[in-house]
């Protein structure tokens, strides 16, 4: 399973109505993590974020990606998390 598939699988519990994952690792060539974890942008739309602050939404995403971050499969992730009404 590639990293994007792994990220998609981990975020499935949020039942996203939209999920876009972009691998930006190539933009960080020469960076310390070039041979390890990558850099990703995640844009996720989910009703699970309703009533949650930006910090709470990011924590929800980070919690689901925790094992990939700890194993250095992901070095950095940029997150845009919103509800359907906000998208």
CATH of 3-22+36-86, one of 3.40.50.360, 3.30.300.90, 3.60.40.10, 3.40.30.10: 3.30.300.90
Q: What is the mean pLDDT of residues 63-71?
A: 95
Digit-coded pLDDT (tens) for 14-54: 999 999 999 988 665 665 544 556 899 999 999 999 999 99
pLDDT, position 53: 98
Q: Which 8-state DSSP code applies to residue 80?
A: E
Contacts of 25 (CB under 8 A, 6+ apart): 34, 38, 39, 40
Contacts of 68 (CB under 8 A, 6+ apart): 3, 6, 7, 10, 37, 74
pLDDT, position 28: 58
Percent of the residues in the chain that have a pLDDT greater than 70, as a whole number: 85
* Cα distance between residue 74 and residue 87, in whole Å: 26
pLDDT, position 25: 80
Tell me the pTM.
Answer: 0.88
For residues 10 and 68, the answer to whether their CB atoms sit within 8 Å is yes
């Amino acid at each position: 399973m590639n990293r994007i598939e792994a990220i998609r699988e981990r975020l499935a519990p949020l039942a996203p109505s939209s999920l876009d994952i972009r691998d930006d690792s190539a933009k960080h060539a020469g960076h310390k993590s070039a041979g390890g974890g990558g850099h990703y942008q995640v844009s996720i739309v989910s009703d699970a974020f309703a009533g949650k602050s930006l910090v709470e939404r990011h924590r929800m995403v980070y919690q689901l990606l925790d094992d990939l971050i700890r194993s250095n499969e992901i070095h950095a992730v940029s997150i845009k998390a919103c509800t359907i009404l906000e998208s």
